[in-house]
Structure 1
Amino acid sequence: MAAFRGPKAPKVWLWRWRRNPLRRRSDALEAWIVLVAWALTALGGVLTCLLATQSVENGLARQRAEWHSVLALLNDDVPKSTASANDADMVWAKVHWTAADGSPHAGQARVPVGSPGGTPVTVWTDAGGRLVAEPPTPSQAQLRAALVGILMGVSVAGVPFIGGRLVRGRMERRRMAQWDEDWQRVGPLWGRKTG
């Protein structure tokens, strides 16, 4: 591009909006499309990132407030060596516990290999007494919320960015086709001599 402007030609900012007899209507339209696409990309991405982060943080804080640990008892002995032992020798086994309202519950929890029946195991339950995973700590929740927010923000920002690029590409192809048509009409006239 520098070869066409010359070695020291100054760059003209906002040239598509300036009054110029050579400016085509498509130049101004393209400038507006670029402006809108970038504004939607930036604002949409940032707002979505912030809203998604806040939503995830609130949901995880609600889990920390509503879920609680309960002491459960192992139903049966767990063999010392099992074929499915992994993750620091932890296996799934049946446990039972009594909820705060006095109702009995049963489920499966991760327990150490070789634990005898009746061993106390800490499990986490929700308000309905159902087994749930341990809620994340506040720092884990912040990290998870930030990652989800960034992923959502980038995903939403990509839509207007890609859309703007596609519209600009189509406008460029159309402009080139119009130039070809004009050249087909004007090009043969250049070979004629006047005089």
Structure 2
Amino acid sequence: MEPTGDDRIHGTPPQLAEPVVCPPPPLRSRRHRVHAVLLGLLVVAVSAVPAIAFLLAHAQYSQSEAERQAELARRHQVSAVLQQDIGGVDSLLPLGSGGTSVDARVSWTQADGSLRTAVAPVPAPGSSGETTTVWLDEAGNPVEEPAPPSRAVLDAAAVAVAALLCGGAAVLILYATEQKLFMRSRQRAWTRDWDRIGPTWTAAA
């Protein structure tokens, strides 16, 4: 509204239309606070995944090593003599098979001094008449060699990798879901605010 000549003469201030004042939205609404809390929990979860993986791997290593020690306690090894070639035409293991042990006929002296001949797992390759090693159980029967110490390490590593992958995937899924729900909530809030304020702005214009 332009001031008239009388207004300028008498010093009467011009009458301006009152602007439409929209109340500012709260700086941190409830959904923002919930969003911040959930993000904080996700950060904690990300930090906890490696620790959980380590604990699971340590438990797996302890279990595997305990089983290996139990096998060692129940088994013992003796020297035996091969009664056939291993890795040759008379062997039960084909040439080029790449195996490190095979069932072969061997003979060894038992605790009572008697000679026993049987098929037992032995390291390959070898020739008939050579000395080899045979593992026996408590009853004196041939058994497989106990797992090496590296088996416990491999078991623990496998558990750690699986835990890291599963934990990381779970955190990513939770983060994506939370972000999607938060953005939907913000969009609904903007729509409600516009439905309430938009007509006022349009009328003022």
TM over 0.5: yes
Sequence identity percentage: 23
Cα drift, residue 131 of structure 1? 2.6
Cα drift, residue 80 of structure 1? 5.1
- The match for 2:138 is 127
Counterpart amino acid of 1:43?
A: A
Change (3 A) 1:99 1:187: farther
Change (3 A) 1:148 1:58: same
1:1-195 to 2 correspondences below 5 Å: 21-22=27-28, 24-74=32-82, 81=89, 84-86=94-96, 87=98, 92-97=103-108, 99-100=110-111, 106-110=118-122, 112=125, 115=128, 120-135=131-146, 141=149, 143-187=150-194, 189=198, 192=202, 194-195=204-205
Distance 1:159 1:146 in 2: 20
Distance 1:36 1:115 in 2: 63
Cα drift, residue 134 of structure 1? 3.4
Cα drift, residue 113 of structure 1? 6.0
Counterpart amino acid of 1:27?
A: H
Change (3 A) 1:134 1:96: same
Change (3 A) 1:90 1:154: closer
Counterpart amino acid of 2:69?
A: A
- The match for 2:7 is none
List per-residue Cα deviations over 1:71-103 (Å, max 9, x = no partner). 335456779535822349986433354643679
Asked if 2 retains the 8 angstrom alpha-carbon contact of 1:79 and 1:115, the reply is: no
Cα drift, residue 56 of structure 1? 2.4
User: Where in structure 2 are there 5+ consecutive unaligned residues?
Assistant: 1-25
Change (3 A) 1:36 1:134: same
| RMSD between superposed Cα atoms in Å | 3.9
Q: How many residues align?
A: 170
Question: Bigger radius of gyration, 1 or 2?
Answer: 2
Q: Equivalent residue of 1:93, what SS?
A: strand
Distance 1:90 1:43 in 2: 38
Change (3 A) 1:44 1:94: same
List per-residue Cα deviations over 1:141-179 (Å, max 9, x = no partner). 1x4333322321232344343222212211111122223
Change (3 A) 1:183 1:80: closer
Cα drift, residue 186 of structure 1? 4.4
Distance 1:90 1:37 in 2: 46
Q: Equivalent residue of 1:145, what SS?
A: helix
Q: Equivalent residue of 2:105, what SS?
A: strand
Distance 1:52 1:42 in 2: 15
